[in-house]
Amino acid sequence: MRIEEDVKFDYGDVLIRPKRSTIVSRSQVNLERTIKFPNSKQQWTGIPIIAANMDTIGTYEVYQVLSTYKIITAFHKFYTVDDFRAMNLDKEYFMISTGISSSDLERVKAIIDAIDVKFICIDIANGYLESLIEFSSVVRKLYPDKVLVAGNVVSKEITEELILRGGVDIVKVGIGPGSACTTRLQTGVGIPQLSAVMECADAAHGVNGFIIGDGGITCPGDLAKSYGGGADFVMMGGIFSGHDENPGEIICDELGNQYKEFYGMSSEKAMNQHYGSMAKYRSSEGRSLRVKYKGPLSDTVNNYLGGLRSTCTYINALNIKNIPKCVTFVKVNRQLNTTLA
């Protein structure tokens, strides 16, 4: 047993120090980024935000909105080959998702045989399993020209291994920060998300890889902080929930308040829905939530992109790629006045 003495930070533990800026308007800020992936030899251009591969978020209806902004949707794992055939898709703005079993691999092969796929997201809760690296390596050999994403992890050594041994282009970073995730409560495992992003980004960039900061975003300021910590992409789930485009009916309570359902993919709700029941050897590591109804998804997207542009004007960053170079974080005890909340 040992204890790491240095403090680890979450997004709420810091603010970004402003600096003199020559940007006169938010309209000057370019939120698109072009990224070249050394392992797959592919190139991508768009706004580096990803809708999480949850079955209430990673849907075709969400994709139809986000793709117009050049934002990626990671489709959930439960779409069939026939489902994909029925969709009108641009390969630049979606990912297919998979686990690491032999049946998962067969599903990936069938989807890629049926439609044009650029991104494959190999997604398991515990990215520290050796089998994740092995599975990633198999997929890389089968599809040398696909952009591979794998995770989730929160530390530098496994980030480097996934890129160097697994042939992964992008490592997904985050254990427990999501609004519907209870992994930290159930297991005691995790690292505060900003520090995890900073550590894994430094490791990935050192071996010509990239990372996704997955989870923990509560507001547009957190999105900016994730990029400031070195995230190349940011994945959001709960932020994209509660909209017209999310599946499920609007729920009304006795006071007339409107909600939509949102739940974690390791929750008992998800296990029952997709597998019939939760296996006795495991426990629920997700929550089922009612999210206040938010209306059109485009309203939320515009709010987050507007906040991100504003951050850039405060720190003199003309684009997302320059944000880490322009950011100085300030450790704080409190960042909001909640007197009237």
CB within 8 A of 196, min separation 6: which ones? Answer: 8, 154, 155, 173, 174, 175
Question: CA 78, 302, 327 angle in degrees (round to 5)?
Answer: 100
Spatial contact of 152 and 175, defined as CB atoms under 8 Å apart: yes
Cα gap 145→169, rounded to integer Å: 11
Does the annotation mark 187 as catalytic? Answer: no
Annotated catalytic residue within 56, 73, 183, 313: 183
Spatial contact of 209 and 171, defined as CB atoms under 8 Å apart: yes
Residue found by looking up tokens 């109804």 in the block: 293
Which of 72, 215, 207 lies closest to 154 in space, CA to CA? 215
Annotated catalytic residue within 121, 181, 312, 326: 181
Q: Which residues of 317-330 are buried (b: 16+ CB within 10 A; e: fewer)?
A: bbebbbbbebbebe
Does the annotation mark 181 as catalytic? Answer: yes
258 membership: H or E segment, kind and range: strand 258-263
For residue 8, what is the DSSP state? P
Catalytic annotation, residues: 181, 183
